[in-house]
Structure 1
Amino acid sequence: MRMQPSFAIESRLVGWSRLASWAMALLLIATVWPGALHAADTTPRQFLTALYKSYSGPDAMGLSWRGSTAERYFDAALTKLILRDVNEAKGEIGRIDFDPFVAAQDFEIASLAIAIESESAEAATGLVSFTNLGQRTKIRYDLAKTAKGWRIANITWDEPTDLKGDLRSILARAL
């Protein structure tokens, strides 16, 4: 039986230690990345596409957009209105009793289309259309470029027609 010198064993241990360190670093990046995803979106279309990934597929759960997560998706002014709504509602349903990204409470999205109608360095307008549970839906997004990336400045619902209006106006109303 041949004995290995102790430095060879130490070398292998150091190699495994480095591998474990890299694995931990990759795990940390994978954990943090989804939250940073929206900030990294470089175009309005990429931002809107990233939003709607949460509404696609058999395991779609939608977005958690109320409360502390609002700033991931909305500009500072709209985030302030959303947080006010949450605080004033005191655990009850606030001014918005539906998911603004699908203009409904329930969703099963099909035929998703995202178009950017106008874009400048500071602002953009996007139109998202899809079929939700058999009903055609069109949602217009006013986007603002912030230090954190593209954020929603307002949402306007064109269809379904019983929901005509915009998020900013609804949130600005008295509760």
Structure 2
Amino acid sequence: MRVTALVLSVLAAMAAAEAAPAAPVFDDPRGLVEYVYLPYTNGTFPEDAFELYSPSLVQLWQDMEQRRGATATAPLGFDPLVNGQDFDIDDLAVTDPAIRGDWATVTATFTNFGVPQELRFTLVRRAEGWKIDDIESLAGDEPWRLSELLAADPLLN
């Protein structure tokens, strides 16, 4: 009886592992930033995009969700990867990384509905590869840093 239960548990775990592909591991910061833009061209968005973010950035997202509680407001109101609510990405270019130890910066430039965008990604190297630790908008009249937006109190904005 115990052997049957053990075999069934192992088979269930194997099926779950096959059904949920492992998160990609990036040994190149530029490759990670290029990867985050693939869904905007091929329409295949990952089930869990948080796998690409550092634990500290994920924690900021979770804290923001908890602070906003039962309010009907969206955490940000826009997609920080395209700096807009919708997207029509053209002319994407991703720079080579500037690496300092376990930290790197990579800049992505593109147009979204014809409007020039420039985003700087700060990445951190972890045991499971490079992860996005912050994103900063460098173009336009209203620059922002994702970590600051997530840390802000939504009821005060």
TM-score interval w.r.t. the shorter chain?
A: 0.7 to 0.9
User: Which stretches of structure 1, 4 residues or more, deviate above 4 A after TM superposition?
Assistant: 61-64
Residue 85 of structure 1 and its aligned partner are, at CA, apart by 1.1
Q: Is residue 73 of structure 1 aligned with residue 52 of structure 2?
A: yes
Aligned to 1:136: 116
> How many residues are paired up?
139
* Pair 1:132–1:48, CA change in 2 (3 A): same
CA deviation string 1:8-61 (max 9, x = no partner) = xxxxxxxxxxxxxxxx99x93xx443x422x2x21001111111101114xx26
Match of 1:124 among 88, 97, 104: 104
Residue 70 of structure 1 and its aligned partner are, at CA, apart by 5.5
Letter aligned with residue 36 of structure 1: A
Larger Rg: 1
Q: What are structure 2's unaligned runs of at least 5 residues?
A: 1-13
* Contact kept in structure 2, 1:118 and 1:124, CA below 8 Å: yes
**SS of corresponding position for 1:80:** helix
Letter aligned with residue 116 of structure 1: D
* Contact kept in structure 2, 1:116 and 1:126, CA below 8 Å: yes
Aligned to 1:36: 23
CA deviation string 1:82-140 (max 9, x = no partner) = 01111222363244110010000000111110003411341110000011111111000
Query: Please, what is the CA RMSD of the aligned residues?
Result: 2.4
* Contact kept in structure 1, 2:29 and 2:97, CA below 8 Å: no
Give the Cα separation in 1 of the matches to 2:40 and 2:141: 22
Residue 149 of structure 1 and its aligned partner are, at CA, apart by 1.5
**SS of corresponding position for 1:102:** coil
The TM-score normalised by the length of structure 2 is 0.77
Letter aligned with residue 89 of structure 1: R
The TM-score normalised by the length of structure 1 is 0.70
Letter aligned with residue 84 of structure 1: D
Identity of paired residues, percent?
27
Q: Which protein has the bigger helix share?
A: 1
